[in-house]
Structure 1
Amino acid sequence: MTESEIIDRIVGGDTEAYAILVGQHQRRALSLAERMLQDTEEARDAVQDAFVKAYRSLAKFNRDASFSTWFYRIVYTTCLNVLEKRKRTPIHDEFDDELGSAWIEPTVFKSMEATMVDEAIADEMKRMDPMYSTVLELFYVDDRSYEEIVTITGMPLGTVKTRLNRGRNQLRKALLKRCPDLEIPS
């Protein structure tokens, strides 16, 4: 069933079709919201609110555009509203830096190293200003084009490119500070 057919069924009152649409977009929407809000519960609430807003506005959806781009714009705007309500209260992440004392086989080191790099990237992304981490996630994790990011965020193209560049540089510096031996391409 195509996305357009699913939307037709939803507009016609088919709630099961809406469950299909939610299933297709929930994981990425939650990922975007968690990156922006840096709080899992708030992110879940924001995504739920975004799905409700999308459902109520679906009959007005312009089918010339991609549903996912339209929907992620709703998620993005909903998260901005949550951030505005917070009045920029600082967020403090608690990290468990304790290492286990279990013996690790040498053959496991390569996969552990890759996992540790992924975790370091995720940790550093959480510490970044959401204005950079959100654009980085949309570009690298969600594989969005510049044009889609412009549509989702409402930012001018130049701003998107600048934030991507600054975000990459911040991430590179943070990772090198954390792991000086790490080889990161420029």
Structure 2
Amino acid sequence: MNENKFIQLLKKGDEKAFETLYNEYASKIYGLLRSYLKEDEIEDALQDVYVRIYRGIKGFKQRSKLSTWIYKITVNTAKNYLKKQKKNYLSLDFNLEKNKFTSKENVEKDVFDEIDYEFILNSIEKLPPLDKTIIKLRDIEGLSYYEISKIIDKPVGTVKSRLHYSRKKLQKIIEEDQNEGNG
């Protein structure tokens, strides 16, 4: 089914469409929320995300892809939780089915191809929150620069430069972690 038909079913309140949406996005939303929130806040935030999707779908104007709109709701929900809690505790744990983390940029590709996936996830956890989010959305979720810019409210140029510097930071962390492991 194409995205337009799917969105129309969601707008009509079709129960099966919402079930499909849940099945399609639950792990992605959960993983993104984990980039921002503590474990005990995630379930409540996840429910809030789905309530906001349910309430807001009729007003969705389709100026972006459905996934971009959902990620934007997720990031905004997480930010609201952080504001409410007045905490900056962040933890990141990717709940993904991939076996490798690979960069789309050739500069980092060779390094990433040779390193254990779990090792990289542990290294990503050491990055600042925005860097974690950008790397996750671009390199793991495969979103475009434009989609990421809409999700994090930054211009496309900023997303590109942040991604570049985030990857460089990650590469340095990986090299340091490898040296610690070998030394």
Q: Same fold (TM over 0.5)?
A: yes
State the 1:27 CA deviation: 1.7
The equivalent residue for 2:108 is: none
TM-score between both structures, scaled by the size of structure 2: 0.77
Structure 2 counterpart SS, 1:155: coil
Taking the aligned partners of 2:179 and 2:20, their CA distance within structure 1 comes to 45
The equivalent residue for 2:18 is: 18
Structure 2 CA distance for partners of 1:90 and 1:77, relative to 1, 3 Å: closer
Structure 2 CA distance for partners of 1:7 and 1:89, relative to 1, 3 Å: closer
Preserved CA contact (<8 Å) 2:146 2:156: yes
Structure 2 CA distance for partners of 1:90 and 1:4, relative to 1, 3 Å: closer
The equivalent residue for 1:111 is: none
Deviations 1:10-58 (A, max 9, x none): 3223222211111111221222221233x33423332321111011011
- Alignment of 1:75 onto 2:74: yes
- Alignment of 1:146 onto 2:129: no
- Structure 2 gap ranges (5+): 93-112
The equivalent residue for 1:135 is: 134
Count of aligned pairs: 161
Structure 2 CA distance for partners of 1:146 and 1:91, relative to 1, 3 Å: closer
The equivalent residue for 1:27 is: 27
RMSD: 2.5
The equivalent residue for 1:84 is: 83
State the 1:63 CA deviation: 2.5
Task: Show the 5 A alignment for 1:24-173.
Answer: 24-37=24-37, 39-90=38-89, 117-173=116-172
Taking the aligned partners of 2:63 and 2:134, their CA distance within structure 1 comes to 24
Deviations 1:130-177 (A, max 9, x none): 111001111100101111101111112232123212211221111111
The equivalent residue for 2:7 is: 7
Preserved CA contact (<8 Å) 1:150 1:156: yes
